[in-house]
Chain A
C-alpha cells in the first residue's frame, strides 16, 4: 500500500461520495419545495385512507386500556392556554356561560350548554393518544357521543364532514383559529366523543376545556381542543385554506389514521 496515488484517490472518492450525498439531499429538498412533487407524494393519501378502511372495517374499535395503564400525568400539547379574550372570560366563569353551537347542513341547528352536553348519552374510555410526532400517552376520557349530538340536530343528507371550530388562535396576532374536520364514518363512530372529563376530573384548560374532540382512530392533531362550534358541510374547500384543518393547511395529511 505504498502507492502515493492511493491516498489521493481515496480522498477524491470520499469527497465524490460526500458531494453526491449532499447533491441527493439538496435535490430532495428542491423536490419538497416544488409545486408538483408534494402533489405526487400526496397522491397516495386517498389510498392510505381506503386501505385502512378496507382492512379494518368502518366500525373497528380503537384499543382500550385499564386504569393501570394510565399515564401518571396527561401532557398538554399544542395550545395550553388560548390567547383569546372571549375564551378567557368563559374560563374565568368556569364555562358556566359556554354553549356549543351546532349548525351548517342540519335540520335543527341549536346550541348545547355544558349541562345539556353532560345529559346526552355518554361514554367513558381509556385510550391511547398518539401524537403525529411519535409519542403516546394514555388517558381516561368521558364525553357525549358525537352521534347523540348529530341525532339531535338531524344532519342533511348532503352533509359529508363535521368541522370543529376552536377557540385557540394559532397566530401570534390572535388570528387563524384552530379547526379540524372528520368524515361521517368517524363522526358516528361509538368512540368519537365530545369529551368534558379527563381522568375523572373536568377537562383542564391545558387539555382543551371545556370540550375537546376524541376521535380515537386518528392521530392527536385531529382531536380538536377548545371546541366552540360544529359545522356540518358538504366540502371544507372554503374553510381556512381549504385542506380541512389548521395542520392540514400547513401540509399535514387530512386522513391521520396512519
Chain B
C-alpha cells in the first residue's frame, strides 16, 4: 500500500498523518512500483485468459488422468451438433449433463453468421480459430506475467509491503466474523480504518498471490512435455497431464471470479477514488457520513 515515503502508514497503530487535515486531503495509498506492477499484471492476465480460451477451443474438452483416451469420458465438453430437427445447436456437457448453450458456447453468431467455436470470438484472442497465434500470445505474455510476478514478490517482501499491509494481524483474524457481516451489508471502513486492507481483502489477495497464481503457472508448465521430464514425470503427482490441464482451466476461472469480486468492491467503495489511487497513488479517505 505504501512505501517509506510516508512513515505514518505502518500498521495498526499508525497515527493519522495530519489529524486536523481537512477531509478533502488525499492519502498516499499505493507506491509507484505496486501501481505499475498491478496494471502490467491486469493486462497480461487478461490477454492470457483470452488467448488461453482460444487454445482451449482447439480441443474444447477436459479430462482427468494422464490421457484423453483412457475410456473415461471428458468431464467437460463444449461442441456443436444438430438437434432432432436438424437445426445446429451449441452444447456444453458437464459431468454427463448436457446444456444447450447456443449463442455462447459451442455455436455462436457473428454478424449474422453462425460459427462453431468453444468459447465465442468476442472472448478469445485471436477472435477466430487460430491456435498457433493464440500460443504465441499466451507464451509471450506468460513471460511478462512471470517476470512481473517475481518482481512483485521480491518487492513485496523487501519493501515490507507484505508484512505491513497484506499479512493479517491477530486483531484482523479476530474480526473476520464482523468483516463478513460488514461486507454482506456493504458497510465499508471509513476514516483511519479505510487506510488499511480489511481482513477478507487481505486473505483474498494472499490467496491470489501465493496460491492461485503460482498454481496456474505450475499447471501451465505441467502441460509442457519437456518440463514433465523433471523428477521422472512430476505431472503425475497432480493426477496426470489432462488433470493438470483441467486444473489450469479451473484456476483461470477462479481468477476471473476474483477479478469480478475485486472490480465489484472497487465500484461499490468509490470507483473513481479507488481507480485514482491505483493510477496516481492518491486516495481520499472516506469519512463517516454525518448523522441525519
* CB of A60 within 8 Å of the partner chain: yes
Closest A-B pairs by Cβ, 9 of them: A63-B233, A257-B226, A60-B229, A251-B132, A135-B68, A71-B69, A134-B59, A41-B136, A133-B59
| Binary contact track A50-78/B, C-beta < 8 Å → 1, others 0 | 00100110001111110001011111000
Chain B residues with a Cβ under 8 A of chain A: 47, 50, 55-56, 58-59, 61, 66-71, 121-122, 124-127, 130-133, 135-137, 139-140, 143, 221, 223-230, 232-233, 235-236, 241-242, 245
- Does A258 interact with chain B (Cβ within 8 Å)? yes
Q: Which of A29, A52, A71, A258 contacts B67 (CB 8 A)?
A: A71
CB proximity to B under 8 Å, residues A117-167: 128, 130-138
Q: How far is the CA of A61 from the CA of B132 in the complex (A)?
A: 26
A71: which of B70, B124, B241 is its contact (CB, 8 Å)? Answer: B70
Query: B235 — nearest CB in chain A belongs to which residue?
Result: A63
Residues of B within 8 A of A55 (CB): 227, 230
**How many A-B residue contacts, CB cutoff 8 Å?**
145
A44 and B139 contact, Cβ closer than 8 Å, known pairs A56-B229, A62-B228:
yes
A138 near B66: Cβ-Cβ < 8 Å: yes
Known contacts A133-B58, A133-B131, A135-B59; A41 and B229 CB within 8 A of each other: no
Query: Could you give 28 example pairs across A and B, Cβ below 8 Å?
Result: A25-B50, A25-B121, A25-B122, A25-B125, A40-B140, A44-B140, A48-B139, A52-B227, A56-B227, A61-B232, A62-B233, A63-B228, A63-B229, A63-B235, A63-B236, A69-B67, A74-B69, A130-B223, A130-B225, A134-B58, A135-B61, A135-B68, A136-B67, A136-B69, A136-B242, A216-B225, A219-B225, A252-B135
Whole-angstrom distance between the alpha carbons of A178 and B234 in the complex? 33
A28–B125 CB distance below 8 A: yes
Contacts of A219 in B (CB 8 A): 225
| Contact status A258-B132, CB under 8 Å | no
For B228, the closest partner residue in chain A by CB is A63
Give the residue name and chain of the B residue nearest to A33 (CB): B126
Do the beta carbons of B225 and A32 come within 8 Å of each other?
no
* A60, A63, A72, A253 interface centre (most CB from chain B within 10 Å): A63
- A65 CB contact (under 8 Å) in B66, B69, B140, B143: B66
User: In whole angstroms, how far apart are the Cα atoms of A72 and B71 in the complex?
Assistant: 7
User: Min CB distance, B26 to chain A, in Å?
Assistant: 26
Contact among B121, B130, B225, B242 with A257 in the assembled complex (CB-CB below 8 Å): B225
Q: How far is the CA of A199 from the CA of B50 in the complex (A)?
A: 38
Are B66 and A136 closer than 8 Å at their CB atoms? yes
For the complex, what is the distance from the CA of A28 to the CA of B139, rounded to whole Å?
15
Q: How far is the CB of A173 from chain B (nearest CB, A)?
A: 23
